[in-house]
């Protein structure tokens, strides 16, 4: 069965702190996507990771992919309130269909 699991499901962190969100998936894939969703809104594409060892950074967010471990991470550096949102990883099992993780709801407080 194709599964994508994220942890933690909920993350409350103080501004200025660092933290990592983990995304594990069950079967080999070399295409993984990270999205952001604000409450009641649509999904915004953050990163596309296409190969083992891929690392991408945008502002305070950095995503990486380890296809051998079937693991992607989204690292948050020096969190700010504007990063508060729900973050989803999604895996493409070579069918152009995505299997989404359950999401990590991030709340950043002063």
Partner 1 sequence: DGGITQSPKYLFRKEGQNVTLSCEQNLNHDAMYWYRQDPGQGLRLIYYSQIVNDFQKGDIAEGYSVSREKKESFPLTVTSAQKNPTAFYLCASKKLSGANQPQHFGDGTRLSIL
Interface residues with partner 1 (CB under 8 A) are 4, 31, 33, 35, 41-45, 48, 50, 88, 90, 92, 96-98, 100-103, 105
Residue 86: helix, strand or coil by DSSP? strand
Residue 46, helix vs strand vs coil: strand
Residue 53 beta carbon to partner 1: minimum distance, rounded to whole angstroms: 16
C-beta of 17 vs 97, nearer to partner 1: 97
Report the nearest approach of partner 1 to the CB of residue 32 (Å): 10
Nearest distance from C-beta of residue 31 to partner 1, angstroms: 6
C-alpha–C-alpha distance, residues 40 and 58, integer Å: 24
Residue 87, class by beta-carbon neighbours within 10 Å (0-12 exposed, 13-18 middle, 19+ buried)? buried
Choice between 22 and 80, CB closer to partner 1: 22
Shortest Cβ 54–partner 1 spacing (Å): 11
Beta-carbon contacts of 60 under 8 Å, excluding residues fewer than 6 positions away, are 76, 77, 78, 79, 80, 83
**Nearer Cβ to partner 1, position 47 or 108?**
47
* CA–CA gap between residue 79 and residue 13 (Å, rounded): 8
């Amino acid at each position: 069965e194709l599964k994508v699991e994220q942890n933690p499901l909920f993350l409350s962190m103080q501004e200025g702190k660092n933290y990592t969100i983990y995304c594990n998936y069950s079967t080999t894939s070399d295409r993984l996507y990270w999205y952001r969703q604000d409450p009641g809104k649509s999904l915004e594409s953050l990163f596309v990771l296409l190969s083992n060892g891929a690392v991408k950074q945008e502002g305070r967010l950095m995503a990486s992919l380890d296809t051998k471990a079937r693991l992607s991470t989204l690292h948050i550096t020096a969190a700010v309130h504007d990063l508060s949102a729900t973050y989803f990883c999604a895996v493409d099992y070579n069918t152009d269909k995505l299997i989404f993780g359950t999401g990590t709801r991030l709340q950043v407080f002063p």
